[in-house]
């Protein structure tokens, strides 16, 4: 499996990869282990396809532009929220145009009318 670390972002903060069992190098977040990740999103419904996990080590950031991960922009179909905060998904890159609120400790295997529309997300 090939991994990718984004410039300007520490490897401990965000992990990219295809789903599958988590390995020692943390590529392929798969099940979105709550002890490692606070929020995860997936390219396809039912937590499949490419995925991104926001780790607990990324505590300073509460707002993310999906374009940072290129291939995921407007391409998110399921999410897992492992925090006691609500996270909102927006159809614009500036935290505007709220399309869905994900309740604390909630998982959505499909996003309904918000499917493939997310450009930014954050704690709301």
pLDDT at 67 over 80: no
pLDDT at 18 over 50: no
Average pLDDT, the chain: 76
Domains and CATH numbers, the chain: 14-123 (2.60.20.10)
SS3 16: strand
Q: Six-digit token pair at 122?
A: 């954050």
Give mean pLDDT, residues 59-75: 75
pTM of the model: 0.74
pLDDT at 68 over 80: no
pLDDT in the model for residue 66: 77
| pLDDT per residue as tens digits for the range 75-121 | 999 999 999 999 999 999 888 999 999 999 999 999 999 999 999 99
Contacts by 89-92, CB closer than 8 A, 24 or more apart: 89/114, 89/117, 89/118, 89/120, 89/121, 90/118, 90/119, 90/120, 90/121, 90/122, 91/117, 91/118, 91/119, 92/119, 92/120
């Amino acid at each position: 499996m090939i991994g990718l670390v984004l410039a300007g972002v520490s490897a401990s903060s965000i992990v990219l990869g295809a789903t599958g069992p988590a390995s020692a190098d943390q590529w392929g977040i798969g099940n979105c282990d709550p002890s490692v990740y606070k929020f995860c999103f997936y390219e396809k419904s039912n937590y499949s396809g490419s995925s991104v996990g926001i780790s607990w080590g990324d505590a300073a950031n509460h707002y993310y532009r999906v374009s940072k991960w290129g291939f995921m922009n407007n391409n998110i179909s399921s999410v897992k929220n492992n925090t006691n905060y609500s996270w909102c998904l927006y159809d614009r890159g500036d935290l505007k145009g709220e399309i869905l609120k994900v309740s604390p400790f909630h998982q959505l295997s499909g996003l309904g009318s918000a499917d493939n529309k997310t450009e930014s997300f954050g704690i709301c």
